[in-house]
Structure 1
Amino acid sequence: MDPEESNRKAEILDAALEVFAEVGYRKATIKAIASRAGLKSPALIYWYFPNKEALLKATIGAIAPAVAQVENAGMIFELPLEVALPMIGKLFLSALDMPKTPQLIRVFFGEAIHNPEVVRPLAESGPLLVLNLLVEYFRRQVEHNHISGHNPAALARAYIGGLLVYMMGKVLFPPLGEGAPPPDEYLNEVVGVFLRGLKG
Structure 2
Amino acid sequence: MLKNAFLMLISLAIAIGGGGASVWYALKIQDGVGAIRIGQWTAFPDIGTPAADPYSKARVAREGVLALGRAEGLSFVAEKDAAGDQLKRECTYRIEGGFPTARFWTLYAADQSLGVVETGKSRLAALQSYEVLRQPDNSVIISVGHHPMPGNWLLTDGSGRMYFVLTLYDTPIASSTGLSDVSLPRIVKAGCDA
Query: What TM-score, normalized to structure 2?
Result: 0.30
More strand by share: 2
Q: Which one has a larger percent helix, Structure 1 or Structure 2?
A: 1
- Normalised by the length of structure 1, the TM-score is 0.29
